Chain A
Amino acid sequence: MNIRNVEKSTWIFIIIGLLLFIVPFIITGRSMQFIIIQIFIFAIFAMSYDILLGFTGIISFGHVMFFGIGAYSTAIVMDRMDATVLSFFVAILVAVVIASIVSFIVGALTLRLKSHFYAMLTLALAGLFLVAAEKWRSLTGGNDGFTFRLPEILRDSHHLYVLCLVSLVLLFFGLRRFTKSPFGRVLMAIRENEARTESLGYKVLHYKVIASVAAGVVASIAGVLYALSLRFVNTGVFATDLTIDVLLMTIIGGVGTLVGPILGAGLVELAHHWLSGLSDVHWIFERWIILYGTVYILVVIFFPLGIIGTLQSKFMNRSIKGLRNSRKTVGK
């Protein structure tokens, strides 16, 4: 690729990415480093959600199932095999393969349905995974979960930091290419007007299934990293709260922008950290989901483009139709 053809924004992203590599030398506190690692992981998870919601216009309430698949695959593989780098790669492979099979089956079965059905079904399916993780104790350790050992090289938090950051950067540029490719254009056409895209001769279902497989795989990688960062896994990785978290990140940051979800992940994770710090001050801060939920509702009603989306629409006259479609005049 000719270097002159690289967009200005790409340079900005590369510079930001490089700057982030220096951060652990400045912020040496372990807990703060851990929070930044969590931000990277959830940024990956949120980007994968953006592929569905922002680029294709699909609402899944069960996206957490792929995250959980990634986390459990890693934990189980690492627990059963030796704590080596090889088993780490096996874990990733297992996670990606299971996630792609599950997302393919779910997508092929249900994506032809209307958005309501899909949202509902995915919610129910994620519930099924949660129950399975609780009940299949021999494999998952039930509710309490289990800890596992990491290979030597990943025990250093600086190495883990680099691993997560590299994954985030690679996936970000990968997904950016994906969304800007002709394939990504078709996805956006589906988001804008599904019927019209279909009538232009595109097999909408195929595109949607591929988008959901891509999103599922990326989410499972986020799950892999999540399990690594905690060295522990329990049924919480299948909880609907996590779906809400990632929805909030994507929507606050700005759907359909990829950068937005990363920003959203940063904001939500920092706010989470800050609020749970306050729980010593007053118990109400333990119930931070209320605040999140309220912010989330207000954002959906008043600010549906999110931070990045609003900035873009201001400066570039860009609009995202999916979230602010022309309203019908039912009883004005």
Chain B
Amino acid sequence: MDLIIGLTVNGLATGMLIFLLAAGLTLIFGLMSVLNFAHGGLFIWGAYTGVWSFQMTGSFIVGIIIAIITGLLLGLVTERLIIRPVYGNHIQQILITLGFMLVLQEFIKVVFGPDQKAVFPPEILQGSFLVGDIVLIKYRLFIIAVGLLIFIVSSFILKRTRVGLIVRAGVMNKEMVQSLGINIKLVFMLVFMVGSGMAALSGILHAVYSGVIYAEMGLEFSILAFIVVVIGGMGSFSGSLFAAILVGLAQAFMAYYVPALSLAVNMLLMTVVLIFRPQGLFGKG
């Protein structure tokens, strides 16, 4: 029993990290039809800058804030320099964002060196709670809490504020949003920045979670986010939460019971979804 709970907590924590990465991808895709292959690059920059400032200052909060700021700024740069020149041309967008991904990844090695780095959680989040016989690792609970908080806040913004309504309206009909006097480019930029900030947050949280960071981690982890976006349905925010948790749980249980198949199980999940419901579980057909 405690094993199952332990694995579930693992799965939920991984799921939340994937969700933070996938949420930005799916929103950006829904609004701008841009599939950002450089998203993993923003994740990895969040991880490195966050860890660096965490280790410099000793404050995890500062690390998280720096990571998010890095994500927002890099998102701004990416949108202006990489995405904007090729709006509306899918082939160019796909080609260009993958190229940018690799540039971001290599720059990590230039700035922070090519070697792996070890990371430890802040003291307050080290160790675990004991509830009865069940060991609950603090940092994992922390990740789950942060993920849920971000989901609730973003859902509130999307559902209740005018900005959120504009974003959702933009997903449905961009021309009409413009015709109502709204600068859609500004909305694009904003969403892109927020999505990038979430990716960077995912990066720093994941860095501490896995205990080690290396430059290729971004592309590897973003593959999970792509899988989630496909399963949940492109452009669906709650779909990405559901699918992320599904993938996280599948990953956690497989990693324990059949380690060799832990990546394959997600690919399999995605393949099944693509065959029977190509628009994703929550996508619109």
Interface residues of A (CB under 8 A from B): 57, 59, 61, 109-110, 112-113, 115-117, 119-121, 123-125, 127-128, 131, 135, 240-241, 244, 247-248, 251, 284, 287, 289-290, 292-294, 296-297, 300-301, 304, 322-325, 327-328, 330-331
Cβ of B100: which chain A residues have Cβ within 8 Å of it?
A: 293, 297
Interface size on B, residues (CB 8 A): 49
- Report chain B residues within 8 Å CB of A289: 102-103, 105-106
- Let me know if B98 and A116 touch, CB within 8 A: no
Task: Identify whether the interface residues of B are mostly helix, strand, loop, or mixed.
Answer: helix
Summarize A's interface: helix, strand, loop or mixed.
helix
Q: How far is the CB of B181 from chain A (nearest CB, A)?
A: 12
What is the distance, in angstroms, from B276's C-beta to the closest C-beta of chain A? 12
| Contacts of B107-137 to chain A: CB distance below 8 A | 107, 109-110
Jot down 6 A-B pairs with beta carbons below 8 A, ordered by A: A112-B278, A116-B234, A284-B110, A289-B106, A290-B106, A301-B86
| Top-4 shortest CB links A-B | A293-B103, A328-B88, A327-B88, A116-B35
Contact B99 A128 (CB under 8 A): no
Least Cβ–Cβ distance between B35 and chain A, in angstroms: 4
* B245 interface hit (Cβ, 8 Å): no
Contact for B95 among A112, A117, A251, A284, CB less than 8 A: A251
Question: What is the bound-complex CA distance between A251 and B223, given in angstroms?
Answer: 24
User: Which residues of chain B are near A294, meaning CB under 8 Å?
Assistant: 103
The winner among B99, B109, B234 for most chain A CB atoms within 10 A is B99
Q: Whole-angstrom distance from the CB of B92 to the nearest CB of chain A?
A: 6
Closest to B259 in A: A135
CB <8 Å contact, B274 and A109? yes
Assess the A120–B188 pair: CB atoms within 8 A: no
A127 cross-chain contacts in B, Cβ below 8 A: 220, 223, 263
How far is the CB of B10 from the nearest CB of chain A, in Å? 19
Query: Which residue of chain A is the closest to B260 with respect to CB atoms?
Result: A135
Instruction: Specify the chain B residue showing the minimal Cβ separation from A332.
Output: B185
Query: Is the beta-carbon distance between B226 and A124 smaller than 8 angstroms?
Result: yes
| Contact present for A123 and B223 (CB under 8 Å) | yes
- Check B3 for interface membership: any CB of A closer than 8 A: no
Residues of chain B from 217 to 273 with CB closer than 8 A to chain A in the complex: 219-220, 223, 226-227, 229-230, 234, 260, 263-264, 267, 270-271
Q: Once the chains are docked, how many angstroms separate the CA of A293 from the CA of B96? A: 9
Q: Are B219 and A240 in contact (CB under 8 A)?
A: yes
| CA distance in complex: A294, B90 (Å) | 19
Given A301-B85, A330-B184: A244 touches B91 (CB 8 Å cut-off): no
Which residues of A are found within 8 Å of B270, using beta-carbon distances? 121, 124
Please give, as numbers and ranges, the residues of chain A lying within 8 Å of B188 by CB-CB distance: 331
Contact indicator A241/B260 (Cβ below 8 Å): no
By a CB distance below 8 angstroms, the chain A residues around B98 are 61, 119, 123, 244, 247
Residues of A within 8 A of B226 (CB): 120, 123-124
Docked complex: B79-96 residues within 8 A CB-CB of A: 82, 85-92, 94-96
Residue in chain A with minimal CB distance to B34: A116
Q: With A119-B37, A290-B106, A330-B174 given, is the CB distance from A124 to B94 under 8 Å?
A: no
With known contacts A115-B94, A251-B95, A287–B274 Cβ distance under 8 A: no
Contacts of B90 in A (CB 8 A): 115-116
Smallest CB–CB gap between A37 and chain B, Å?
A: 25
In the bound complex, do residue A109 and residue B91 qualify as a contact, i.e. CB atoms below 8 Å apart?
no
Q: Which of A297, A325, A327, A331 contacts B185 (CB 8 A)?
A: A331
A59 contacts across to B, CB distance below 8 A = 91, 94-95
Query: A247 contacts which chain B residues (CB < 8 A)?
Result: 95, 98-99
> Residue A244 contacts which of B35, B102, B174 (CB distance < 8 angstroms)?
B102
